[in-house]
Structure 1
Amino acid sequence: MADRVLRLESLSRSYGKQETKVHALRDVNLDIPRGSFVAVMGPSGSGKSTLLHCASGLDRPTSGSVLLDDVDLTTLSELELTELRRTRIGFVFQDYNLIPALTTEQNIGLPQWLGGRKPSKGDISRVLSWVGLESLRHRRPSEMSGGQQQRVAIARALVTEPEVLFADEPTGALDSNSGRELLQLLRWMVDEQHSTIVMVTHDPVVAAVTDRVLFLADGQIVDVLDLPTAEAAAARMAQLEAGAS
C-alpha cells in the first residue's frame, strides 16, 4: 500500500502457559492507510482491545511485528517505546483518564510535561479550537460534562500531532447527544485534518461513521466492510455473535 501508516505482520498475542494459554490474537496481518478512519468490531473476547493495545505499543505481542511507518515497535526498548507513544501515537480511553486537579489546558499539556518539554501555548490553543473548548481552558474535569471531558482527552491525544490516534470505545460512557457530537469531531479530524483513527466499538451506528470496519472473531480478522452502514455492521455482528464466522 503506497501510503500506509501502520502495518501489522503475523501479529499474535497469548496469555498464560500450557493448558491455560489464551490466544487473544492469532497471526493478524493488517495495513492501515494514512488518513483513514477504521473501526474494529467483534464479539466479547474476540481480541479487539488487545489488537488496539499491541498496535499502539501499550502491549507487546507474543510474536509478529508492528510497523509505524518504518519503525518496528516490537524492537524498541521500554524507554524508546514510551517516547514514541508520547510523540507519534495518540490514545483515547473510554473513561477519559484526566487528572482531577489539573485544568483543561494542563491536562492537554501533560504528555509534553512528562516528556520534559514545556507545552506550547499555541499547540494547546490549536487543539482546543479543534474540539471547541476554547472557553473551558481553565476548568477542571469536575466542572465539565462527560462529553466535554472526552473532548479534552482527544485534545490531549492530538496535541503532538500523532501519526495514528487509537480510541477504545470513546463514546461508551457518553449519552447519545454527546456521543454523536464526538463522532462528528472524529470524522472532521479525518476529513479536514487528515488524521488516521483506529477505533474499537460495539455500536453499529458508531461504526457507520468510519471508512472501514474490521470484524474480529477468536483473535483473527474474519471480515472487512468498506463504507459501512449501521444495518450492514449490525447484521455481520449478529452472525458473529451467533457463532458464524
Structure 2
Amino acid sequence: MRLHAVRKVHGTGENAVTALDGITHDFPSGTLTAIMGPSGSGKSTLLHCAAGLDRPTSGRVELAGHDLTTLDEVRLTKLRRDRIGFVFQAFNLVESLTAAQNVELPARFARRRLPAAQVTAALDAVGLADRARHRPGQLSGGQQQRVALARALATRPAVLFADEPTGALDTTTGRHVLHLLRTLVDQHGRTTVMVTHDPAAAAVADTVLLLKDGRLTESLTLHPGRLAANTATIAGRMAQLEVA
C-alpha cells in the first residue's frame, strides 16, 4: 500500500481546514505500522483515506493494485468488502448472533456465503475456535475484540486497519490483543495499519508514523522485541510533538 501526496481539506474558503497536508508513505507488505500524534493531528483522517472510507481532496492511495481515488462508489465498496479488513475500538458485534455468525455477517450483507472452513480458520487464528457457538454476552471484552478481529480476517484482506483496537480494553487484555496482531503480521504476513494514542501499543509495530497538524513529522523504525525501549522512545517523541 502507498500514499502519495495525500491532502484532505474540510470546508472551503475562509472556513477550510487542512486535515492532511501532503502525506507520502509506503506501507510494506507483511508489516505493522502504528500512526500516532496529538489530538487533531490527522490520525483518523489518514486511516480513513488509506482505507477508502473517505476520499482525499488530492493525491493517490494505492492498495491491492488499485488507485482508490479513481474508483467509483460501487467499485470502492467492493474493494473495501473484499480486500480490506477493519477493527475498531467498539466491537460492533450483534448480541443475538454467535461468534461464528458475527464473523460471517459482512459476507451475508454482501449476499455471499463464507465457507464454514473459512469462518473456522478465522476464529482459530485468533484462538477462539472453541467459542464459535458463544454469543457476545458469553465472552469477555478481549474475546469480543478477537471475534471482531476474526470477522475482519475472514475474507483474507490485503490490509487490516485497526482504529484504537485496545482502547476499550484493560491493560492485560489489551496486551493479548496486541500480541495477536503482531502474530498475525509475523506468521500470516497480514499487513496492518493501526491508529493508537498509547506508546506501549505502538511499541509492537515495525514503524511508527508521527503526525502533527496534518503533516508527517517523523517515521520511527522500531527494534523487534525491545518493547520497553520502543515505548520510551515513542513516549519521548510524542512529548516533544505536544510541546513544539
Report the counterpart of residue 133 of structure 1 in structure 2: 128
Counterpart of 1:188 (choices 172, 183, 191) is 183
Contact 1:189 1:195 in 2 (8 A): yes
Shift, 1:233, TM fit: 0.1
Report the counterpart of residue 13 of structure 1 in structure 2: 8
**1:49-60 to 2 correspondence within 5 Å?**
49-60=44-55
Q: Which amino acid aligns with 2:107?
A: Q
Taking the aligned partners of 2:179 and 2:242, their CA distance within structure 1 comes to 28
Taking the aligned partners of 1:17 and 1:103, their CA distance within structure 2 comes to 46
Q: Deviations over 1:13-68 (max 9, x none)?
A: 11122212111101111110000110000000000000000000011111111111
Answer yes or no: is 1:218 the counterpart of 2:213.
yes
Report the counterpart of residue 233 of structure 1 in structure 2: 234
Contact 1:83 1:115 in 2 (8 A): no
Taking the aligned partners of 1:16 and 1:216, their CA distance within structure 2 comes to 21
Q: How many residues align?
A: 238
Counterpart of 2:141 (choices 146, 152, 156) is 146
**1:93-132 to 2 correspondence within 5 Å?**
93-132=88-127
Taking the aligned partners of 1:200 and 1:85, their CA distance within structure 2 comes to 18
Shift, 1:110, TM fit: 1.2
Report the counterpart of residue 62 of structure 1 in structure 2: 57
Contact 2:4 2:25 in 1 (8 A): yes
> What is the SS of the residue equivalent to 2:161?
strand
Shift, 1:101, TM fit: 2.0
Report the counterpart of residue 173 of structure 2 in structure 1: 178
Shift, 1:142, TM fit: 2.0
Taking the aligned partners of 1:85 and 1:154, their CA distance within structure 2 comes to 16
Answer yes or no: is 1:86 the counterpart of 2:86.
no
Taking the aligned partners of 1:101 and 1:77, their CA distance within structure 2 comes to 34
Taking the aligned partners of 1:235 and 1:59, their CA distance within structure 2 comes to 31
Taking the aligned partners of 2:113 and 2:185, their CA distance within structure 1 comes to 27
Taking the aligned partners of 2:2 and 2:109, their CA distance within structure 1 comes to 28
Contact 2:5 2:58 in 1 (8 A): yes
Structure 1: 4+ residue segments shifted above 4 A: none
Shift, 1:88, TM fit: 0.4
Contact 1:46 1:216 in 2 (8 A): yes
Taking the aligned partners of 1:219 and 1:76, their CA distance within structure 2 comes to 24
Contact 1:100 1:141 in 2 (8 A): yes
Shift, 1:145, TM fit: 1.3
Contact 1:214 1:225 in 2 (8 A): yes
Answer yes or no: is 1:162 the counterpart of 2:157.
yes
Contact 1:147 1:182 in 2 (8 A): yes
Taking the aligned partners of 1:188 and 1:88, their CA distance within structure 2 comes to 20
Is there any run of 5+ residues in structure 2 with no aligned partner, and where? 224-229
Contact 2:64 2:83 in 1 (8 A): no
Taking the aligned partners of 1:70 and 1:168, their CA distance within structure 2 comes to 23
After TM superposition, the score normalised by the length of structure 1 is 0.95
